[in-house]
Amino acid sequence: MARRVWLNLGLLALLLVLGTLIWRDVTTPAGDTGWPVIRRDGVEYILVESPGGDSLRLMRGAEGWRMLTPRDLPASQMHVDMILELLDIPAQARYELTELNLAAVGLAEPRLRLRLDDRELAFGATEALDQLRYVRHEGDVFLVYDTVSPLLLGPWWNFVDRALLATVPAVEAIEWPARGSALDGRETEHLLAQWARLSASIVKPMAPGERDAGEPLIMHTANGERIPWRVIRDNAPRLVRPDLELTYHLDRRDVPVVFAE
């Protein structure tokens, strides 16, 4: 009897060791699997490429992130952070390239490529069990929880800074041509303070009919520029920048503040 007990205990210990080794192989944290360890605050350049789509290039500057292509515009810090969150997600497994059929895991022709400075990540298919994404980095393939692909495969305008004044330099006066009036310095300062606290729900390319829709508003800047806007107050309130061909879609609750009502 005692011999059988010791045999069972030995088998149990062996199973525990094997289980630990398997668990470590599947759930080893990022640094141990070789997942590219990149400091988020050290990334200066982001390039997103998808088959048949426009490339998206983002660059960190002294005043924050900026989109370089397909348009030159201030970029949304929140959406850049969503990309960089991928670096904090530990890889769940690692394979050498020779261990996998790259076509079978979607990496022969990746659906998406993401470059962070000089590091490139190629995104393949997901595995069936846990929907983990196959991601190639240099000579290895990793399985990771993919939270970023839907964003990266979305339209470029998701990455435009949604702050209403992100593209506007110092403003000295605001003119309402249809009203035949302009705001004085104190009124301008008050309105701009309101605008500075607000962001659009989304920024999209301007629709053809929006160029001349609504009421015109002109911002006069300190360097002599005249920044045109169109103020549309229908069931989907929005501000249009015809010169940038962008439309800032607003929350209806912000309408009285934005339109100085």
69-111 residue pLDDT tens = 999 999 999 999 999 988 888 889 999 999 999 999 999 999 8
How much is the pLDDT for 160?
Answer: 96
Does a structural domain hold residue 95? yes
How confident is the prediction for the chain on average, in pLDDT? 83
What's the pLDDT score for residue 88? 85
Contact in structure between 132 and 144 (CB atoms under 8 Å): yes
Q: Are residues 199 and 88 in the same domain?
A: no
- Is pLDDT larger for residue 120 or for residue 52? 120
Shared-domain flag, residues 34 and 125: yes
Which domain does 186 fall in, by range? 171-258
Which of residues 8 and 40 earns the better pLDDT score? 40
**pLDDT at 11 (0 to 100):** 47
Residue 133 has pLDDT above 90, yes or no: yes
Do 129 and 69 lie in a common domain?
Answer: yes
The CA-CA-CA angle for residues 246, 62, 65, to 5°, reads: 40
Do 39 and 155 belong to one domain?
Answer: yes
How many Cβ atoms sit within 10 Å of the Cβ of residue 33?
19
Shared domain for 57 and 105, answered yes or no, is: yes
What does DSSP say about strands 215-221 and 171-176: parallel, antiparallel, or unpaired? antiparallel
The pLDDT value recorded for residue 87 is 85
Mean pLDDT of 4-22: 45
Residue where one domain finishes, among candidates 159, 190, 223: 159
Q: Same structural domain for residues 147 and 247? A: no
Residue 100: both structure tokens together: 């996998």
Please tell me the predicted confidence (pLDDT) of residue 229.
94
| Residue 73 shares a structural domain with residue 145 | yes
Final residue of a structural domain among 159, 189, 219 = 159
Number of domains forming the structure of the chain:
2
133 within a domain of the structure (yes/no):
yes
Based on the fold, state whether residues 207 and 145 are members of the same structural domain. Answer: no
Question: Which of these ranges, 23-32, 107-116, 237-246, has the smallest mean pLDDT?
Answer: 23-32
Predicted confidence band at 37 (pLDDT cuts at 50, 70, 90)?
low
Task: Tell me if 253 is assigned to some domain.
Answer: yes
Separation CA 171–CA 228 (nearest Å):
12
33 neighbors 93 (Cβ within 8 angstroms):
yes
Residues 101 and 194 in one domain: no
Q: Does 7 reside within a domain?
A: no
Residues 125 and 236 in one domain: no
97 and 200 part of one domain = no
Residue 10 falls within a domain, yes or no? no
Within-domain flag for 20: no
Q: Are 154 and 193 within one domain? A: no
Q: Report the greatest alpha carbon distance in the chain.
A: 103
